[in-house]
């Protein structure tokens, strides 16, 4: 069997990568060792930038139906007094979606799998174990075993995407290793269902307590999550019954009778900060937890994997259809690795603010945390580093490398609806007929800022090239200076 792209792993990252590739008409096969969606809750948050990726797939409305807008994050002292608050808009942010969204991961995976069934170029094969990956000059050979029948098969692919999690076989196959970023803690994760009203602030509560750090959040109409740092010698089994768990959650449940609380899951997780030393070997790429592990304190772990998929999918599609040079694939790790490292560092900072003991911990909690710039936990993430597809100036601030806002246009549609997964040229100038022809010949869309006052304020003047993933590739004071850059990128 031969297929252009094989994706190993059908978690949110692999499913999103497949859906995005399918949107570009790329044939791909997703291989998953489990027969169906893992039913237990895991990831619970994504921001408006990641919600926008689901919007690219046409799933924004369906995701909104299974998610719960979150009002932001509070850092609390051991007595639950507010040290600092970072507000997120529960309404429509600059990307057209709530800035923080809570959900149940199995619901998201079911949504993505149902979407794949509507894409003719994408197939998902469950209960299939990938046993080996080998590359040669003609492509990648993926050895698989059917876990039900034991039958073995070799699948030949042009490219392989390793989305197979923290214990990635694909990562081992390319000889990549995980660098430890010096953060590792054992935590108890508890999911509870109740129809009772807890009456709590509708955001994430991070309790900064070196004796017992904790997190509380509402993730749905009747679903709640708590996370507590485990003490030495403790395990999840110690809290498997409500009588042992109840004292930990009482500060939030207060006088709600224990009989009104249903334990959905109690599990132990080790929160780690790690990043792969390399994310690619020739035709094989690492995405999601196979490439990085982020502590959950700012809710960016799963989102990082979806960002990986959004960054790589359109480039891989362009290389396969000949509209982009093969060198475009070199920009994946160069763009995503520094961004991911920056987000991991944010998460570690908050983790240390919650858990650090002694004088240093007191300084973080009492002095640093209340004065953290809002950008430290703003939903806007750092600009991508300079690459062939991010033409950032070496000095000074720029729109380049950042996401163009998904603004409303005059017709009531948003920018992403008009772009439709293509390149877009946004300009305040009136294009000449030749400029318009060059843009249209390369399958891009032309958007003038006259269609939106918000877009005009963002651009200010001149023009910008916006990539299919919404990132600004280049900007200039005039459209005439942008067009040559555009023709250099697209064949």
CA distance linking residue 451 with residue 409, whole number of Å: 5
CA distance linking residue 356 with residue 208, whole number of Å: 8
Longest Cα–Cα distance of the chain, Å, equals: 74
Q: What is the pLDDT of residue 376?
A: 46
Beta pairing class for 284-286 and 280-281 = antiparallel
> Nearest 5°: CA angle at 403, between 460 and 41?
150
Q: What is the pLDDT of residue 274?
A: 98
CA proximity to 39, closest of 191, 224, 245 = 191
Using CA atoms, how far residue 351 sits from 14, 110, 148, 182, in Å, is 28, 31, 42, 12
> In sequence order, which residues have a C-beta less than 8 Å from that of residue 369 and are 6 or more positions away?
75, 83, 84, 208, 353
Residue with tokens 């100038």: 429
CA proximity to 349, closest of 385, 376, 313, 316 = 376
CA distance linking residue 309 with residue 298, whole number of Å: 20
Reduced 3-state DSSP string for the chain: CEEEEEEECCCHHHHHHHHHHHHCCCCEEEECCCCCCCCCCCCCEEEHHHHHHHHHCCCHHHHHHHCEECCEEEEECCCCCEEEEEECCCCCCCCCCCCEEECCHHHHHHHHHHHHCCCCCEEEECCEEEEEEEEECCEEEEEEEECCCCCEEEEEEEEEEECCCCCCHHHHHCCCCEEEEEEEEEEEEEEEECCCCCCCCCCEEEECCCCCCEEEEECCCCEEEEEEECCCCCCHHHHCCHHHHHHHHHHHHCCCCHHHCEEEEEEEEEEEEEEECCCEECCEEECHHHCEECCHHHCCHHHHHHHHHHHHHHHHHHHHHCCCCHHHHHHHHHHHHHHHHHHHHHHHHHHHHHHCCHHHHHHHHHHHHHHCCHHHHCCCCCCCCCECCECCCCCCCCCCCCECCCCECCCCCEHHHHHCCCCEEEECCCCCHHHHHHHHHCCCEEEEHHHCHHHHHHHCCCEEEECCCCEEEEEECCHHHHHHHHHHHCC
Confirm if 424 and 452 have CB atoms less than 8 A apart.
Answer: no
pLDDT beneath 50: ranges in the chain: 373-377
CA distance linking residue 190 with residue 199, whole number of Å: 19
> In sequence order, which residues have a C-beta less than 8 Å from that of residue 437 and are 6 or more positions away?
none
Confirm if 259 and 193 have CB atoms less than 8 A apart.
Answer: no
CA distance linking residue 403 with residue 380, whole number of Å: 9
Q: What is the pLDDT of residues 439-487, one digit of tens each?
A: 999 899 999 998 888 999 999 889 999 999 999 999 999 999 988 888 8
CA proximity to 21, closest of 343, 388, 285 = 285
């Amino acid at each position: 069997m031969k297929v252009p792209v094989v994706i190993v792993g059908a978690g949110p990252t692999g499913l999103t990568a497949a859906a995005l590739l399918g949107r570009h008409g790329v044939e791909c096969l997703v291989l998953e060792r489990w027969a169906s969606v893992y039913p237990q809750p895991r990831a619970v948050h994504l921001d408006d930038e990641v919600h926008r990726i689901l919007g690219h797939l046409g799933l924004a409305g369906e995701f909104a139906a299974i998610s719960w807008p979150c009002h932001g994050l509070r850092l609390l002292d051991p007595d639950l007094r507010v040290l600092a608050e970072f507000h997120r808009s529960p309404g429509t942010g600059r990307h057209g979606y709530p800035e923080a969204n809570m959900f149940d991961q199995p619901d998201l995976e079911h949504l993505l799998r149902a979407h794949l069934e509507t894409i003719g170029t994408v197939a998902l094969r469950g209960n299939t174990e990938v046993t080996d990956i080998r590359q040669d000059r003609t492509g990648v050979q993926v050895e698989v075993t059917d876990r039900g029948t034991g039958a073995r098969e070799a699948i030949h692919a042009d490219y392989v995407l390793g989305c197979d999690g923290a214990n990635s076989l694909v990562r081992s196959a390319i000889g990549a290793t995980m660098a430890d970023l010096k953060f590792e803690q054992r935590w108890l994760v508890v999911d509870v269902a109740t129809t009772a009203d807890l009456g709590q602030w509708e955001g994430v509560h991070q309790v900064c307590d070196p004796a017992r750090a904790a997190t509380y959040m509402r993730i749905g109409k009747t679903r709640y999550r708590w996370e507590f740092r485990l003490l030495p010698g403790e395990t999840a089994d110690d809290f498997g019954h409500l009588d042992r768990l109840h004292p930990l959650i009482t500060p939030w449940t207060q006088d709600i009778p224990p009989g009104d609380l249903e334990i959905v899951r109690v599990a132990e997780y080790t929160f780690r900060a790690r990043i792969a030393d390399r994310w690619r070997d020739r035709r094989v790429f690492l995405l999601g937890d196979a490439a990085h592990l982020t502590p959950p304190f700012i809710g960016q772990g799963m989102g990082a994997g979806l960002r990986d998929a959004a960054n790589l999918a359109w480039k891989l599609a362009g290389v396969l259809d000949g509209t982009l040079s093969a060198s475009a694939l070199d920009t994946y790790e160069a763009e995503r690795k520094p961004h991911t490292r920056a987000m991991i560092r944010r998460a570690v900072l908050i983790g240390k603010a919650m858990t650090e003991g002694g004088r240093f911990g007191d300084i973080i909690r009492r002095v640093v945390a209340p004065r953290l710039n809002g950008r430290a936990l703003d939903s806007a993430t750092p600009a991508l580093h300079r690459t062939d597809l991010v033409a950032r100036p070496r000095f000074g601030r720029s729109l380049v490398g950042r996401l163009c806002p998904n603004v409303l246009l005059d017709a009531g549609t948003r920018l992403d609806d008009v772009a439709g997964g293509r390149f877009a040229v946004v300009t305040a100038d009136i294009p000449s007929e030749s400029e318009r022809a060059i843009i249209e010949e390369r399958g891009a869309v032309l958007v003038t800022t006259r269609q939106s006052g918000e877009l005009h304020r963002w651009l200010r003047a001149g023009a910008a090239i916006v990539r299919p993933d919404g990132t600004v590739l280049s900007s200039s004071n005039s459209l005439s200076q942008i067009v040559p850059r555009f023709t250099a990128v697209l064949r």
